């Protein structure tokens, strides 16, 4: 039982931190521009595919460096030449624009790389078990994933709270006009944040590609969950996104690891139903079975009881 718990925690940590890399960029972009970037997970997918192509000729490590850079530049260009023009027409237009961009990116990926799963591999140097516990291996690559995401979180937090540029960004979130009047180039800051946000998503793609498999549906699988995190954490709150990511990662992981379900609950209550009961599916459902939808349940609960999210400061 202990082994399951320990591994579930580690798995949850890996998933949670990965989700955070996506959510951090999304939440920053939202708080600055007021745009929910629907294409965010698509940049994550682009990161994985770029890194895959780079890794074929130049190896994994160069992919790790260059793929996020390419994605970041691409993201910045999308902001500069796409989003900024659409901005004049209001938020709905921006929303629709990012929605369209998501489709465009997915189709482009299918066009250039094809629909089949890509054999994107983790580097050989990390191809060993970091440690073995109760006969189960924890791969070094997963340890590396945890390390990278933690490093990103710390750097991001330091930059935002302790550097000059971070202070300007924070000011631009709440008082863009004042910041502009002080002589700062707000559109440039926006572009920068969008670029960095998408680069982070790209980086997440680079390190997730080898373990979560690189295929054209990878954005869709992760996309909706990232929005859930941003809303649960509180729109615009980096710390909130961090907590929500870990919460959801661990929640899912523990739910899968558990082996309880409705039958246990019914046993406890001393109730039983016939096998041909019309709601039989409901009476036999188990927690692992519904694990992937638990985050959405949590979202509903948060929206009901704390609409601003865990650490959200937004007031109506």
Binding site for another protein (CB under 8 A): 3-4, 7-8, 11-12, 14-15, 106-107, 110, 114-119, 129, 132, 134-137, 139, 141-142, 211-213, 215-218, 220-222, 225, 252-253, 256-257, 259, 288-289, 291-293
**Shortest CB 296 distance to another protein, Å:** 11
**Shortest CB 215 distance to another protein, Å:** 5
**Shortest CB 19 distance to another protein, Å:** 9
Q: Return d(Cα 218, Cα 209) in angstroms, integer.
A: 9
Of residues 148 and 218, the one with the C-beta less far from another protein? 218
Query: Residue 198 half-sphere exposure, CB side, CA atoms within 13 Å?
Result: 28
Of residues 16 and 234, the one with the C-beta less far from another protein? 16
Q: Which two tokens stand for residue 132?
A: 């073995």
Nearest to 280 by CA among 299, 255, 268, 262: 262
Of residues 22 and 235, the one with the C-beta less far from another protein? 22
Number of other residues whose CB lies within 10 A of the CB of residue 135: 6
Of residues 12 and 236, the one with the C-beta less far from another protein? 12
Question: 3-state SS string over 64-91?
Answer: HHHHHHHHHHHHHHHHHHHHHHHHCCCH
Of residues 124 and 316, the one with the C-beta less far from another protein? 124
Own/partner pairs for 163-168, CB < 8 Å, 24+ apart? none
Of residues 11 and 31, the one with the C-beta less far from another protein? 11
**Shortest CB 8 distance to another protein, Å:** 6
Phi, psi of 261 (to 5 degrees): -170, -170
Number of other residues whose CB lies within 10 A of the CB of residue 179: 19
**Shortest CB 92 distance to another protein, Å:** 25
Q: Return d(Cα 9, Cα 174) in angstroms, integer.
A: 37
**Shortest CB 217 distance to another protein, Å:** 3
């Amino acid at each position: 039982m202990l082994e399951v718990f320990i591994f579930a925690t580690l798995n949850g940590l890996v998933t949670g931190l990965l989700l955070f890399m996506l959510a951090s960029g999304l939440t920053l972009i939202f708080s600055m521009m007021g745009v929910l970037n629907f294409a965010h997970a698509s940049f994550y997918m682009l990161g994985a595919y770029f890194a895959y192509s780079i890794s074929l000729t130049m190896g994994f490590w160069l992919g790790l460096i260059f793929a996020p850079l390419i994605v970041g530049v691409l993201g910045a260009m999308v902001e500069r030449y796409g989003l900024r023009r659409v901005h004049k027409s209001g938020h709905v237009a921006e929303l629709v624009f990012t929605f369209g961009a998501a489709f465009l990116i997915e189709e482009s990926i299918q066009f250039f790389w094809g629909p089949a799963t890509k054999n994107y591999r983790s580097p050989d140097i990390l191809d060993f078990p970091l440690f073995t516990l109760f006969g189960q291996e924890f791969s070094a690559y997963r340890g590396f994933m945890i390390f990278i995401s933690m490093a990103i979180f710390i750097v991001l937090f330091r930059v935002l709270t302790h550097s000059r540029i971070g202070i300007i960004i924070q000011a631009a979130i709440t008082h863009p006009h004042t910041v502009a009047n002080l002589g700062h180039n707000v559109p440039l800051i926006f572009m920068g944040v969008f670029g960095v946000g998408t680069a982070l998503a790209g980086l997440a793609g680079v390190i997730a590609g080898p373990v979560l498999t690189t295929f054209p549906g990878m954005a869709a699988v992760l996309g909706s969950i990232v929005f859930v995190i941003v809303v649960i954490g509180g729109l615009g709150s980096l710390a909130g996104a961090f907590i929500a990511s870990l919460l959801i990662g661990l929640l899912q992981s523990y739910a899968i690891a558990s082996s309880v379900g409705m039958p246990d609950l019914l046993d406890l209550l001393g109730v039983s139903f016939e096998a041909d009961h019309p709601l039989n599916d409901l009476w036999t459902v188990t927690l692992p079975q519904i694990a992937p939808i638990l985050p959405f349940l949590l979202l509903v609960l948060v929206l009901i009881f704390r609409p601003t999210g865990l650490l959200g400061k937004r007031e109506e």
